[in-house]
Amino acid sequence: MGNKLYVGNLPYSVRDEDLEQAFGQFGVVTSARVMMERNTGRSKGFGFVEMGNDAESTGGHQGHE
């Protein structure tokens, strides 16, 4: 099982698919989730990406610093 990475300072326009696409270049993304406001449906500006294995998550982390 891979590591779950916190991704912060996201533009409010970013959605799950955008995160998955951005981190997909570093390996297999098993999940990508942007946290949304329950009442408004607007992004909270952060999310989580889970990569297929530890090596991929390290590459994703270093690639987006």
User: Residue 37 class from Cβ within 10 Å (0-12 exposed, 13-18 middle, 19+ buried)?
Assistant: exposed
pLDDT digits (tens, 9 = 90+) for 4-59: 999 999 999 999 999 999 999 989 999 999 999 999 999 999 999 999 877 766 66
Distance CA 32, CA 9 (A): 15
Distance CA 14, CA 47 (A): 10
Q: Which domains does the chain have, with CATH numbers?
A: 4-63 (3.30.70.330)
